[in-house]
Chains A and B, each alone.
Chain A
């Protein structure tokens, strides 16, 4: 396994700048997730690392060695695609053996057999080896794809939204399996997704991409608890973070168009106009709460209920545990965990 570093990578297609000056490093044995909406440049980054695309400028390094001139085959990476990467004309066994039969490796057949059998056991697909890939379910296909990647111990795994075409239950279980496997095998992995849950749950570190720019790099805790911009704040967490305009008035701090006056945050100087981010789980209904509002809507999800509270003209989402008894139209009081508030300036940048 290797570390992979990108230095000042830029890439543009005919009309769009896909990546602009992107630099980050995936450490050896790390699970790194690139998170961003469609069109952010995630897949482009992945394809540049695999040499399926050539960057306009910048350098790719594997283990501190420049690999820009190397072909995809020479870079020795494994790529797991969103779909379509299993060869439909071959059996599962032949699909798994395919990378080992490459002219670069020329593995003897008995060794191939041992490796394929071993990988099939890890992924619990031994019973599928003789089957044609067209006859597999979505989950089975994706496990074979992952199997084809791990069968040859590449320098890095590149995964391009491998879970996004699967149904919710399957995605949940494969997420756990992937994470477990990556940690027990110590594979360097770069995983691309637009799904913030996948990023938060699996990553050692996350890189957030937006419109070709790397916005923030950090652990899931960094990204969730200290989002660098409002974009990042809104990208992670479900239900979405509440973003409300805040202002200063006679030393107190208030949320505009609402009944909420907050004590001014201690030890920091804020400009007069800010955006305040409040995660829904940091707002909780409390009979002794210092803020008041009306319940507009409740959405029970089972483990918790999303409660839409209207305070003045501001709408806030809050989370209540379990399936709540609260009804819409009821006036409630609530509290906010003040030390978990996020402040952003008018351009969306986090205020330190």
Chain B
């Protein structure tokens, strides 16, 4: 197994930066997701690691060995594509054994290897079929088997679940995670779906506009987003982000009577980062809000979503023509008809603040209370 290191890796297409200089060290056995909207450079990054795309400048190290200019087949990595890329004229068995035959491996050895991966992925019964006969999920399992069978030092996956329907995606997501636990192979996984990235990763690399926005564990990017982009992108819906103005120990919201007290551990940092009357963006997750009648935050219910296990209330803090919507997670039995007014608070420990000029998060002072939600360290 392998570590992967990117040093100042950059890619330019014509006049456009597809990936701005990027540094990243992926540990042995780690599951890393490159996450971002389409066009953020995540796939290009993956293709540079694989060698399918040449870097414009920078160095790529695999286990400390410089592979920047090595051919993809010399890098000892396996690539899983979004559209399976199975050879339609070969049976599943031939598809899986294809990379081994390319190496000139002996028949018996090939049979043993196939036996192993087929066990792991439970696809015994599919070996004699051609890919065209298989369902989407089974095709993706075969594609995974073909990647596994080579025992590569790293896996690169490019949206492997992107072509599957929602239900199957959920199942396959869990299967990929279980597979990773079983194999513990270094994996770089590209996706635009933040739920997938959260569910699978040890660490997430959030990218946007050809740049890395944040690198962190799922808990870090969820609870401590580095900037407005990450705050908005992670979570469904994303973090509530409201434009406010700092006024002493209070945040005021223009065009609305609501106020919010600045938590103690943010008082000093906010004053240091901003002047009085300065604009600040207040952020909190939908589940950090609680509906209570004696609160200082008020708005009108704009829409109510039933989600089965819970409800999402969309509350308008602005006006009818210029709505400012915040999303609150509420009990499934909560009854707040559209148009009714509503008061709510946000858990001070869950409040985040951003500088609207730079978009960056403002860090709390040292005396910050401990995280309410403990961070999981995946084994």
Contact = CB atoms under 8 A, between A and B. Distances in A.
A22 B233 CA distance: 41
B375 interface: yes
B301 to A, nearest CB: 10
Contacts of A121: 321
B308 A200 contact: yes
Contacts of A303: 235, 285-287, 329
B218 interface: yes
Contact of B305 (A37, A179, A329): A179
B94 to A, nearest CB: 31
Contacts of A180: 302-303, 314, 338
Residue picked from B194, B198, B303, B308, most chain A C-beta under 10 Å = B308
B325 interface: yes
Interface in B77-117: none
Interface string A208-240: 000000000000110010000000001011111
A224 B307 CA distance: 9
B192 interface: yes
B309 A323 contact: no
Given A176-B303, A319-B309, A301 B233 contact: no
B293 interface: no
B372 to A, nearest CB: 8
Interface residues of B, number: 54
Contacts of B173: 299
A155 B219 CA distance: 49
B208 to A, nearest CB: 12
* Interface SS, B side: mixed
B312 interface: yes
B373 A323 contact: yes
Interface residues of A, number: 49
Contacts of A279: 308-309
**3 closest residue pairs by CB, A with B:** A299-B199, A201-B305, A281-B309
Interface of B: 37-38, 165-167, 170, 173-174, 177-178, 181, 192-195, 198-200, 218-219, 222-223, 232-238, 285-287, 302-310, 312, 314, 321, 325, 329, 338, 372-376, 378-379
26 contacts: A168-B194, A172-B236, A176-B325, A179-B303, A180-B314, A201-B305, A224-B306, A224-B308, A237-B309, A280-B309, A281-B308, A281-B310, A297-B177, A298-B376, A299-B173, A299-B177, A300-B219, A301-B198, A302-B218, A302-B234, A303-B235, A303-B329, A319-B309, A323-B223, A323-B376, A328-B379
